[in-house]
Amino acid sequence: MLSANMERELNKQLNAELYSAYLYLAMAAYFYAHNLNGFANWMMVQNQEETTHAMKFYHFINERGGRVHLDTIAKPEGEWTSPLDVFEATLRHEQKVTGLINHLVDVAMAERDHATNAFLQWFITEQVEEEASAETIIQNLRLAGDNPQALLMLDRELGTRVFTPPATGA
């Protein structure tokens, strides 16, 4: 059974994950508008991942006897100055999410809620991957500089990304 405090904090994270999905949808729209369909594809896959993360929280709250409370999802930013700007915003966002997950772990540990702590460990690992992925693309974009051929090669590479749902129980 979840404490009232843990339930409230998990519901906040559910909202944050839905916001993340919404943000990546906005970023995909930016890339589609600039005819960078590979970058848009990468963001659409990111949207699917974040939606999956939100649903993990949704199901966990229910499985632990809590109550899901859906709240308003904030409007995401919709304009950036360049692909590099988008991915720098992506990294900042993922670093913020890492902080939110770490906060949840702190709450779970303070409440001696071992089940929630165990559940959150998957997200800790996931956040390391999320930040590393954004950082790699940032480095590639910096290497590409103003070279349109390099940008198109990176666009083609990002277009090959596919969504792979996490294994059951992950």
Does 135 fall in a domain? yes
Domain count, the chain: 1
Does 138 fall in a domain? yes
Q: How many Å apart are CA 154 and CA 80, to the nearest integer? A: 18
Does 85 fall in a domain? yes
User: Which residues have a Cβ under 8 Å from the Cβ of 135 and sit 6 or more positions away?
Assistant: 91
Does 75 fall in a domain? yes
Alpha helices in 34-160 (DSSP H): 37-63, 83-110, 114-144, 148-158
CATH number at 147 reads: 1.20.1260.10
According to the model, what pLDDT value does residue 43 have? 98
pLDDT in tens, 111-161: 999 999 999 999 999 999 999 999 999 999 999 999 999 999 999 999 999
Does 170 fall in a domain? no
Does 168 fall in a domain? no
Pair of tokens at residue 37: 């369909």
Work out the average pLDDT over 104-115.
98
Pair of tokens at residue 152: 């198109």
Does 166 fall in a domain? no
What residue numbers bound the domain in which 29 lies? 4-158
Neighbours of 52 (CB within 10 A): 16
Pair of tokens at residue 144: 């590409």
Does 90 fall in a domain? yes
